[in-house]
């Protein structure tokens, strides 16, 4: 024997190692899941059918994307997704029903977008938001949108030709849509934030199918790869009938009072609302040339809005102050816009057009009493006591709130040239 202490040491070490190794194998199946045993969810649609919650999942089709070997060459990426639907009395029950149709574990952590159907939105966003917020896999950065009719229909019908899944398409859309001024896509966190602020309202963009004519291409895929036979056959090389491809676009938005859909905004009204909420990054205004019917396009490069509520003579008075800067980017007439008065007239046109858009959106919102412009918040910040008095009936107050819109437009640049090009100008 070596010594008593020594043998104890070995005993303890051995026992410890055995315990550790056993523990390693005892954990069983708790959290471990191979990445290739997951079905990655890309987007989902939540609808209401009677009392049933209808859930439609769009999964990335396993093995269809990436993987180096496949996907090379110049073929268009088709939509490589697969759909599963389930229904139940609750969303999570519908989710469990989908599980019974899947050979893999539905993995929600990479979900890009949630589409909410019109019925569901009218019933209330609350349960959808709750489902997303409680689920440990779903994130608050998931984008959320509204559809006219059922959301399921879009998931089923969309074809898509740029991205492989609708979720990817939507998250791409989000990045660039703000530069049109017409759209924005909030994520779940934004919606939570909006709904829990003073007025308790939010605006969700509407996603719509838009059939796009697909550019005609020559011949079939087989003939284009075998090159030499082109032109010999009579059918090959013929321009085929233009097909349509069903893509999606943003068109308008839904107005939510608390979590319920109460009204729609059309495309221009969305921009009217976006001006006020500082959601316009770039926007194009088509203005009239003086005297004739031709147009001048001005690109808005900067827009800052300021909303306030004042007390004037015992009455609340809302104020929207907007400062925009633009750049002349296109001109169909021959007017010289380097002259000051020409610029001034354009600036007043810009202001008028923006004011019209804003007031159109404002009227729509006032009609349903949904203060999506943040007057409530402004009042809360400016006169907290008054706000606490009015808080309970703010939607009614908002309906009769007079609003002064003050747009200060500036035309800063005229692009890379000054005067328009004219034949024989030199």
Partner 1 sequence: MLWLWRLLWREATPGKQTSNEHALPITTRLEANIEYLKKTFGRSEDLVIREIELPGNKLALVYLETLIDRDVVQRDILRSLLALQAIPLPGDKARFSRLIRARLTIGDLQEERLWSKIITGLLDGKAVLMVEGYSRCLLLSIEGWEKRPVEEPVNEVSIRGPREGFAENLATNISLIRRRLRAPELRFEAMNLGRRTHTKVVICYLEGLVLKGILEELRRRLQRIDIDGILESGYIEELIEDAPNSPFPQLNRTERPDKLVADLLEGRIAVLTDGTPFALILPGSLISQLHAPDDYYERWPLTIGIRLFRFLGIFIALLLPSLYVALTTFHQEMIPTPLAISIAAQRELVPYPAVVEALIMQVLFEILIEAGIRLPRAIGTAISIVGALVIGEAAVRAGLMSAAMVIVIAATAIASFTIPTFGLSQAVRMLRLPMILLAGFLGLLGIFAGLLVILIHLVSLRSFGEPYLSPLAPFIWEAQKDLVVRVPWWAMLWRPVLTGWRDLWRIKPGLHPFITSRDKNAQDELETQLGEGNGKSVPARKGKKKTGKLARKR
Assess 200 for contact with partner 1 (CB under 8 A).
Answer: no
**Range in contact with partner 1 (rule: CB under 8 A) among 45-53, 64-72, 216-224, 366-374:** 64-72
Query: For partner 1, which is the closer residue by CB, 105 or 217?
Result: 105
Check binding of 336 to partner 1 (CB under 8 A): no
CA-to-CA separations, 177 to 29, 144, 182, 280, 348, in angstroms, rounded = 43, 15, 7, 10, 27
Q: Which stretch binds partner 1 (CB under 8 A): 29-37, 175-183, 293-301, 334-342?
A: 29-37
Spatial CA neighbour of 57 closest among 31, 34, 91: 91
Site for partner 1 in 69-108 (CB under 8 A): 70, 107
31 lies in the site for partner 1, by CB under 8 A: yes
Residue 64 binds partner 1, judged by CB under 8 A: yes
Select from 3, 4, 67, 423 the one that contacts partner 1 (CB under 8 A): 67
- For position 29 contacting partner 1 by CB under 8 A, the verdict is no
DSSP string, 182-196: S----BHHHHHHHHT
Residues 6 or more apart from 170 whose CB is under 8 A from it?
43, 112, 113, 143, 145, 185, 207, 248
Q: Are 358 and 269 in contact (CB under 8 A)?
A: no
- One of 43, 56, 95, 112 touching partner 1 (CB under 8 A): 112
- 327, β-bridge pairs: 299, 413
Q: Which of 109/352 has CB closer to partner 1?
A: 109
Nearer to partner 1 by Cβ, of 40 and 257: the residue is: 40
What six digits make up the tokens of 245?
A: 């491809």
Among 9, 33, 237, 363, indicate the residue that binds partner 1 (CB under 8 A): 33
Smallest gap from Cβ 40 to partner 1, in A, equals 6
Binding test (CB under 8 A) with partner 1, winner from 5, 29, 35, 76: 35
Interacting residue with partner 1 among 6, 16, 63, 415 (CB under 8 A)? 63
Bridge partners, 85 (sequence order): 56
* Percentages of the chain per state (helix, strand, coil), in multiples of 5: 35, 30, 35
Question: Coil, helix or strand for 148?
Answer: coil
Q: Nearest approach, Cβ of 97 to partner 1 (angstroms)?
A: 23
Q: 261 phi and psi, to 5 degrees?
A: -70, 125
Beta carbon nearer to partner 1, 24 or 222: 24
Calpha distance 246→401 (Å, rounded): 42
Write out the two tokens for 311: 């007390």
Question: Which two tokens mark 314?
Answer: 């015992």
Residue 40 as a binder of partner 1 (CB under 8 A): the answer is yes
Phi then psi dihedrals of residue 177, to 5 deg: -70, -25
Interhelix angle 126-134/188-195, rounded to 10 degrees, is 130
The nearer residue to partner 1, 150 or 164, going by C-beta atoms, is 164
Query: Quick check: 426 binds partner 1 (CB under 8 A)?
Result: no
Residue 165 and residue 175 in contact, taking contact as beta carbons nearer than 8 Å: no
Among 44, 46, 48, 60, binds partner 1 (CB under 8 A): 60
**CB nearer to partner 1: pick between 26 and 425:** 26
Residue 34 interacts with partner 1 (CB under 8 A): yes or no: yes
Strand extents, DSSP E, 234-351: 243-257, 260-265, 283-288, 295-312, 315-331
By beta-carbon proximity to partner 1, the closer residue of 137 and 336 is: 137
Q: Between residue 147 and residue 176, which ones bind partner 1 under the rule CB under 8 A?
A: 168
Distance CA 338, CA 310 (A): 39
The footprint of partner 1 on residues 113-142 (CB under 8 A) is 137, 139
Q: Does 416 bind partner 1 (CB under 8 A)?
A: no
Residue among 34, 55, 30 at smallest CA distance from 44: 55
Q: H helices of 263-306, where?
A: 267-276
- Which of 3, 22, 27, 422: binder of partner 1 (CB under 8 A)? 27
Q: Which is nearer to partner 1, 176 or 382 (CB)?
A: 176
Task: List residues near partner 1 by CB under 8 A.
Answer: 1, 24-25, 27, 31-36, 38, 40, 60, 62-68, 70, 107, 109-110, 112, 137, 139, 168
């Amino acid at each position: 024997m070596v010594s008593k202490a020594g043998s104890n040491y070995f005993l303890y070490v051995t026992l410890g190692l055995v315990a550790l190794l056993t523990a390693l194998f005892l954990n069983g199946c708790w959290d471990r899941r191979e990445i290739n045993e997951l079905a990655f969810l890309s987007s989902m649609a939540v609808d209401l059918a009677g009392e049933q919650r209808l859930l439609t999942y769009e999964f990335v089709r396993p093995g269809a994307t990436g993987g180096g070997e496949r996907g090379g060459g110049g073929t268009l990426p088709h939509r490589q997704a697969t759909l599963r639907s389930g229904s139940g009395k609750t969303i999570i029950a519908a989710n469990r029903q989908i599980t019974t149709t899947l050979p893999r574990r539905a993995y929600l952590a990479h979900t890009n977008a949630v589409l909410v159907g019109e019925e569901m939105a009218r019933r209330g966003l609350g349960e959808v938001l709750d489902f997303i917020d409680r689920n440990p896999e779903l994130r608050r950065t998931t984008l959320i949108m509204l559809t006219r009719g059922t959301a399921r229909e879009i998931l089923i019908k969309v074809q898509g030709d740029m991205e492989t899944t609708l979720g990817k398409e939507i998250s791409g859309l989000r990045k660039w849509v703000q530069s049109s001024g017409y759209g924005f896509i909030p994520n779940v966190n934004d919606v939570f934030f909006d709904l829990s602020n003073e007025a308790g309202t939010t605006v969700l963009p509407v996603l719509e199918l838009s059939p796009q004519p697909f550019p005609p291409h020559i011949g079939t895929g087989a003939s284009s790869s075998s090159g030499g036979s082109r032109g010999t056959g009579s059918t090959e090389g013929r321009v085929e009938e233009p097909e349509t491809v069903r893509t999606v676009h943003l068109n308008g938005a839904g107005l939510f009072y608390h979590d319920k859909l109460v009204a729609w905004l059309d495309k221009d009204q969305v921009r009217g609302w976006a001006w006020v909420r500082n959601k316009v990054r770039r926007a194009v205004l088509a203005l009239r040339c003086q005297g004739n019917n031709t147009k001048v396009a001005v690109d808005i490069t900067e827009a800052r809005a300021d909303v306030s509520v004042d007390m004037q003579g015992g009455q609340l008075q809302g104020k929207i102050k907007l400062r925009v800067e633009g750049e002349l980017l296109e001109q169909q007439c021959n007017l010289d816009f380097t002259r000051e008065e020409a610029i001034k007239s354009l600036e007043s046109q810009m202001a008028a057009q923006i004011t019209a858009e804003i007031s159109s959106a404002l009227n729509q919102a006032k009609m349903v009493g949904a203060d999506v412009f943040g007057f409530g918040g402004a009042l809360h910040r400016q006169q907290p006591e008054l706000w606490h008095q009015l808080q309970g009936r703010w939607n009614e107050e908002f309906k009769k709130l007079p609003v002064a819109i003050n747009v200060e437009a500036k035309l800063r640049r005229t692009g890379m040239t000054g005067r328009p090009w004219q034949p024989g100008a030199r």
